[in-house]
Amino acid sequence: MLVHAITNASYEFAADVRAGLDRPGQKELPSKYLYDDVGSALFEVISHLPEYGLTRADERLLQRHAGEIVERLDAPVAVAELGSGSGKKTRWILEALSRWQRTFYYPVEISRSALVMCERELSDIDSISIVGFEREYLDGLLEVAAHRQRNQHLFVLFLGSTIGNFDRPAGVKFLAEVRRILEPGDSLLLGTDLEKPSAQLLKAYDDEIGVTAAFNLNLLARINRELDADFDLSQFVHVARINHEARSVEMHLESRRRQTVRIPAADLRVEFMEGETIWTESSHKYSSEEVFQMARAAGFSCEAQWIDEQWPFAENLLVAE
């Protein structure tokens, strides 16, 4: 069952596009808009590319340690997942939980197609009831918390490297906002991509066959589709950059020439210089020790950490204090 947001999504999209492209200096667009139905499908392909080892590391850790993770939880629990995607890697956690309790699972997604895929992927697991929320992360989590039963703990999943899309202060602020919704003793399983060589990262975010480029350029195609813009996608190119100071990988869309783009639904006319970019996403990388500091700053304690050695990545079990 899906629960839909009653919001003027097109108005919000147009307002965010206007704010991001009409700003002085670096143009940028919120990374959440990369994940429409087309973008979500393209990201599923990216997760299988040989260059992009992050998703496989995430899945290996969950498969190997799901039993140990759920044994550390205070029962009974309900599970909320922020940004569930297809739900494929969540299976390990839910199957481990289903062995000792009946569980409500609440995937929270802004992509309706991802929620449909998630329900299809996980509906065969015994003792699991699925209620999906088509919401922003915190709005969805608030609704899940409102469904909390007496004496029930919430177990929140924030897997992959989504926390890395925030800069470091914003990431801590987001975790603190999650903590405010939770009660002491509730848990958060946080995925964090760890630092690795620049060459390895650039290959992961600019793959040889161009799937990541298509994923990034789809954002302009989405603006064309939904806001009646006239972006010529052939005149923009995907660029991945290492920001050593921020310890992040940045994705940009670079204009091949001087050009003007019109976006009627945002009441906007945008001038681009040759070589000017739109910053579309950042993915910050962490040290394993840094996660403990982030947790403390946000009102959690990091009770356990599991690290994949093939592709440095960590699952971190945070408990609300």
φ, ψ for residue 253, nearest 5 deg: -115, 115
Q: What average pLDDT score do residues 282-308 get?
A: 98
Q: In the chain, where are the structural domains located?
A: 24-34+198-284, 54-195+286-320
Spatial distance between the Cα atoms of 317 and 161, rounded to a whole number of angstroms: 15
Q: Is residue 110 scored above 50 in pLDDT? A: yes
Q: What one-character-per-residue DSSP string does 52-82 give?
A: --HHHHHHHHHHHHHHHHHHTSPSSEEEEEE
Identify the pLDDT of residue 126. 86
Taking Cα atoms as reference points, which of 172, 179, 174, 277 lies closest to residue 220? 277
Per-residue pLDDT at 155: 98
For 304, half-sphere exposure in the C-beta direction (CA atoms, 13 angstrom radius) is 14
pLDDT at 7 exceeding the cut of 50? no
| Both structure tokens of 196 | 């690795």
What superfamily in CATH does domain 54-195+286-320 come from? Vaccinia Virus protein VP39 (3.40.50.150)
pLDDT band at 6 (very low <50, low <70, confident <90, very high): very low
* The model scores a pTM over 0.85: yes
DSSP 257-275: S-EEEEEGGGTEEEEE-TT
CB 284 within 8 A of CB 251: no
Average pLDDT, integer, range 32-40: 92
Q: Report pLDDT digits (tens) over 59-74.
A: 999 999 999 999 999 8
Q: Is the pLDDT of residue 184 over 70?
A: yes
pLDDT band at 4 (very low <50, low <70, confident <90, very high): very low
Cβ burial 145-171 (10 Å sphere, 16+ → b, else e):
beebeeebbbbbbbbbbbbbbbebeeb
Tell which residue, 109, 99, 88, has the closest CA to residue 35. Answer: 109
For the chain, how far is it from start to end, CA to CA, in angstroms?
32
What pLDDT, on the 0 to 100 scale, is given for residue 205?
Answer: 98
Distances (CA, A) of 262 to 8, 29, 265: 22, 16, 9
Residue 5 has pLDDT above 70, yes or no: no
Q: What residue has token string 């990545």?
A: 313
- Identify which of 120, 41, 32, 38 has the alpha carbon closest to the alpha carbon of residue 82: 32
**Residue 8 has what pLDDT?**
58
Mean pLDDT, to the nearest integer, of 259-279? 97
**Spatial CB neighbours of 46, under 8 Å, sequence gap ≥ 6:** 52, 207, 211, 212, 215
Separation of alpha carbons 252 and 270, rounded Å: 17
pLDDT reported for residue 87: 87
